[in-house]
Copies of this chain bind each other. A is one copy, B any other.
Amino acid sequence: MSELVVIIFCGLLSLAYGGWAIQSVMAADAGSERMREIAGAIQEGATAYLTRQYTTIAIVGAVVFVLAWVLLSGTAAIGFLIGAVLSGLAGFIGMMVSVRANVRTAQAASQSLGAGLEIAFKSGAVTGLLVAGLALLGVAVYFAILTGPMGHAVTDRVVIDALVSLGFGASLISIFARLGGGIFTKGADVGGDLVGKVEAGIPEDDPRNPATIADNVGDNVGDCAGMAADLFETYAVTLVATMVLASIFFTGAVADQLMLLPMVIGAVCVVTSIIGTFFVKLGSNNSIMGALYKGFIATAVLSAVGLLLITFGWLGAGTVYTTVRGVTFTAMDLFYCGIVGLIVTGLIIWVTEYYTGTQYRPVRSIAQASVTGHGTNVIQGLAISLEATALPAIIIIVGILVAHSLAGLFGIAIAVTTMLALAGMVVALDAFGPVTDNAGGIAEMADLPAEVRATTDALDAVGNTTKAVTKGYAIGSAGLGALVLFGAYTEDLRYFASTAQPGSIFEGVNVDTLFSLSNPYVVAGLLFGGLLPYLFSGICMTAVGRAAGSVVEEVRRQFKEKPGIMQGTEKPDYGRAVDMLTRAAIKEMIVPSLLPVLSPIVVFFAVRAVATPSEAFAAVGAMLLGVIVTGLFVALSMTAGGGAWDNAKKSFEDGFIDKDGVTHLKGSEAHKASVTGDTVGDPYKDTAGPAVNPMIKITNIVALLLLAVLAHAS
C-alpha cells in the first residue's frame, strides 16, 4: 500500500514544519531580564500544572490500559496508549512553544505589528500542525503496522478494535485536559477579575494582582493545551469512525481503498494547511484578521483542489461504489460530500463571527442591555446564547441531509472528515490566541511602553475572535463527528447481530426496528442521554465557581496581610494561586470526566438487568443520540454566549454609543455591568461549553468499545 507511505510522509512533513517553526520562534529575541523573569514564572507554573495533570491522567490511563488488554486484546491496549500519548504530546509541545512564544511576541510587538503577528501565529501553527500531523501519523502508522508486519486484514475486527481504542485514548486525555485546563484557566480569570478589576479597581494583568501569573498560566494550559487535546481527539476519532464505517460498508479492494480515503484526505489537507500558513502575512491595510483569513481561505481552496485531485487521480471520478446495505454512489458524490464539509465549516465560522463580533446586532444588544444594569446584561447574554444555537443547528441539519442524499452515512462521514482535515489551520488560528493574550500580560507586567501594549491588544482582540470562531468549528465538527460515531455504533451492532452465534448476546437483535421512537427504552435512553450534558456542565460550572471563589479569598488574604502590595512596595506571592488552582483543577476534573465514560456501561447493564439485550442496546444507542442532541445545543449556546459577553465588554473599551447616542466609556456603570456578563461567560465559553465536545464523543466511543468487548466475550 504505497498510499500509506505517502500519508505517513505528509504526517512527517507536518512534524518537520513544526520543528522548523519552533526553531524560528526560539531564535527570536526574548526581551529584557524582567520580561524573561515573568515568562519564566508562567513557564514554570504551566509545566508544573501539566506535569501534575498528566501524572493523574496516567493513573486512570494505566487502569484503562489493563482493562483494554484483558477485555479486548494487547493490540487494543496499545492502540489506547498511542492515542493517549500522542494526544498528550500534541498539547504538551504546543504549550511548551506557547509559553516561550509569548515573551518573544511581546518583544517583537515593540518593533512592529507584523513581527508580533508572525511569532504569535507561528507558535499557533506549531500546535495546529502537531495536532493534525500527530493524529494522522498515529492512526496511519499503527494501521500500517497492524495490516503490514502483523498481517491482519484491513477490515479485520482486530484492526477496528485497535483503532477505536486509539480514538478512546485520545478522547480520555482530551476530556481531562479540557476540563482540568478549563477549570484552572477560568478559576484564575474569574477569581482574578472579581477581586482585581471589581474590588481593587486595578486593570487586568496588573502585577499587583497575586492571581495574574495564574491567569497567564491558565491561558496556556486551558486555551492551548486543552484545546489541542480536544481537536486532536475530534480529528482522530472522526478518522477512526469513518474507517470503521468503510470496513463495514465495503468488501475486498474497495474496502482497502475506502479505508484509506479518510487518511488520504487528512494527508492532503495537512499539506494544504502548511502551505496556508505562508499566506498569513500582514497586508498593506494592517488587518490582522484579514491576514489570518487569507491563510484559512488559501487552505480551504487548496483543499478543495486537493479533493478534486484525489477524486480524479486516485479514486477515478466515475467509479461507482455500492455499500453492503445497497447504497450506491460515485467518487464524484464523495467529492461533493467533501465540499459540503468545507461549506459547513465556512458557514459555521461566518455565523459564529456574526454572533460574537462587536459590530453585529447580538453583541450590540448585550452592550445596550448593559446600560440598564448588570441584570439586563446577563439576561440579554443568556438570550443571545440560546438564540445562537439555531443557525448552526440548521447548517448542520442541511449538511447531514445533503451529504446523506449524496452517499448515505458514508457521505456524512466523508463530509466531517474533510471538515476536520482543516484542523491544522483552524487550530493554528486558535492557538495564536493564548500567545497574544500572554504577550499582552507580559507587556503590562514588565511595564513596556503603552504602544507595545496597544499592539499586543490589537493582536489579542483578534485572538478573541479566532478563539470564538474555532469553538464554533470545534462543536460543529464534534456534533457531526459524534453522529458518525453513532452511525458506527448502529452499523457495528448490525454487523455483530448478523454474525452472531447462537447464545450470543447479539442474537436476534434487529437493528432496523430496534431504534424506533415508539420503543420506551429509546425514549428513556434519549432522555437519559439528554441529561448528561446538563449534569456535566452543571458540575463544570460549579467547579469553576468554587475555584474562582478560593482565588478571590486567597487574593483578599494577600492584600490584607501584605498592605504593601497595592502600593507596589511588596511583591505578591504568585505561586500560591498557581498551586491552589493546580490542586483544585486536578481534583475537580475527575468526577465529571468519568460521567460520560461510565454512563454507557451503567445504562447497558442497568437496562440489561430488567430487560432484553435488544432493549439494552436500544437504550444505549438512544442515549448516544440524546447526548449529541442536547450536547450540541448546550455547547453551542455556551460558547457563542460567552464570546458575545466577552466582546460586549470590549465594546466599552473604545466607548460604546447606545441607542440614545450617549457614549459609555471604560469605567462607566454600563461597562461594569458588561464585566459581570463577561465573568459569567468565562466558564461558559472556556470550561463547560468546550468540555462538552469530548464529552459527547467519549460517550459514543465507549459505547463502540462496549460492543467490541461484548462481542469479544460472547
The answer to whether A401 has its CB under 8 Å from any CB of chain B is: yes
| A672-704 to B contact mask, C-beta < 8 Å, 1/0 | 000010011001100000000000000000000
A634 to chain B, nearest CB (A): 8
Question: Known: A548-B379, A549-B372. Contact between A389 and B531, CB under 8 A?
Answer: yes
Q: Are B387 and A544 in contact (CB under 8 A)?
A: no
Within 8 A of B (CB), among A166-211: 190-191, 193-195, 198-199
Q: Are A542 and B383 in contact (CB under 8 A)?
A: yes
Q: Are A545 and B376 in contact (CB under 8 A)?
A: yes
Alpha-carbon distance A526/B383, docked complex (angstroms): 22
Q: Are B401 and A487 in contact (CB under 8 A)?
A: no
Interface centre among A193, A486, A535, A545 (most CB of B within 10 A): A545
- Picked from B371, B387, B548, the residue with its CB within 8 Å of the CB of A376 is B548
Within 8 A of B (CB), among A199-243: 199
Within 8 A of B (CB), among A533-563: 534-535, 537-542, 544-545, 548-549, 552-553
Question: Please, which residues of chain B bring their CB within 8 A of the CB of A483?
Answer: 523
Q: Which of A297-305, A314-322, A500-508, A621-629 contacts B (4 or more CB under 8 A)?
A: A621-629
The answer to whether A369 has its CB under 8 Å from any CB of chain B is: yes
Q: Which of A3-11, A437-445, A513-521 contacts B (4 or more CB under 8 A)?
A: A513-521
- Picked from B374, B520, B634, the residue with its CB within 8 Å of the CB of A676 is B374
The answer to whether A38 has its CB under 8 Å from any CB of chain B is: no
Within 8 A of B (CB), among A368-410: 368-369, 371-376, 378-380, 382-390, 393-394, 396-397, 400-401, 404, 409
Q: Are B679 and A676 in contact (CB under 8 A)?
A: no
- Picked from B400, B545, B621, the residue with its CB within 8 Å of the CB of A517 is B621
The answer to whether A530 has its CB under 8 Å from any CB of chain B is: yes
The answer to whether A296 has its CB under 8 Å from any CB of chain B is: no
Q: Are A633 and B534 in contact (CB under 8 A)?
A: yes
List the B residue with the shortest CB-CB distance to A386.
Answer: B538
Question: Known: A190-B376, A198-B373, A632-B530. Contact between A386 and B517, CB under 8 A?
Answer: no
Alpha-carbon distance A630/B545, docked complex (angstroms): 25
Q: Are A541 and B487 in contact (CB under 8 A)?
A: no
List the B residue with the shortest CB-CB distance to A636.
Answer: B534
Q: Are B549 and A376 in contact (CB under 8 A)?
A: yes
Question: Known: A365-B542, A372-B548, A542-B380. Contact between A397 and B524, CB under 8 A?
Answer: yes
Q: Are A680 and B530 in contact (CB under 8 A)?
A: no
The answer to whether A522 has its CB under 8 Å from any CB of chain B is: yes
Q: Are B372 and A535 in contact (CB under 8 A)?
A: no
The answer to whether A527 has its CB under 8 Å from any CB of chain B is: yes
Alpha-carbon distance A386/B530, docked complex (angstroms): 12
Question: Please, which residues of chain B bring their CB within 8 A of the CB of A335?
Answer: none
Question: Please, which residues of chain B bring their CB within 8 A of the CB of A191?
Answer: 372
Within 8 A of B (CB), among A625-655: 625-626, 629-630, 632-634, 637
Question: Please, which residues of chain B bring their CB within 8 A of the CB of A382?
Answer: 538, 541, 680, 684
Alpha-carbon distance A511/B513, docked complex (angstroms): 10
Q: Are A369 and B549 in contact (CB under 8 A)?
A: yes
Alpha-carbon distance A676/B378, docked complex (angstroms): 9
Question: Known: A516-B515, A676-B375. Contact between A534 and B190, CB under 8 A?
Answer: no
- Picked from B394, B521, B630, the residue with its CB within 8 Å of the CB of A633 is B630
Question: Known: A386-B537, A538-B385, A542-B380. Contact between A517 and B622, CB under 8 A?
Answer: yes
List the B residue with the shortest CB-CB distance to A542.
Answer: B383
A374 to chain B, nearest CB (A): 5
Q: Are B387 and A535 in contact (CB under 8 A)?
A: yes
The answer to whether A512 has its CB under 8 Å from any CB of chain B is: yes
Question: Known: A373-B198, A527-B393. Contact between A379 and B515, CB under 8 A?
Answer: no
The answer to whether A490 has its CB under 8 Å from any CB of chain B is: yes
Alpha-carbon distance A14/B297, docked complex (angstroms): 69
Question: Please, which residues of chain B bring their CB within 8 A of the CB of A374?
Answer: 198, 374, 676, 679
Q: What are 6 A-B interface contacts by the 8 Å CB criterion?
A: A190-B375, A198-B374, A386-B541, A394-B531, A526-B629, A530-B633
* Chain A positions near chain B (C-beta within 8 angstroms): 190-191, 193-195, 198-199, 365, 368-369, 371-376, 378-380, 382-390, 393-394, 396-397, 400-401, 404, 409, 412, 483, 486-487, 490, 511-518, 520-524, 526-528, 530-531, 534-535, 537-542, 544-545, 548-549, 552-553, 610, 621-622, 625-626, 629-630, 632-634, 637, 676, 679-680, 683-684
**Besides the known contacts A382-B541, A530-B630, 12 further A-B residue pairs in the complex with CB atoms under 8 A apart:** A190-B375, A371-B549, A378-B378, A379-B541, A379-B679, A389-B534, A390-B535, A397-B524, A400-B523, A490-B518, A515-B518, A530-B629
Pick the 6 closest A-B CB pairs, nearest first.
A375-B679, A386-B538, A387-B538, A383-B541, A515-B517, A404-B520
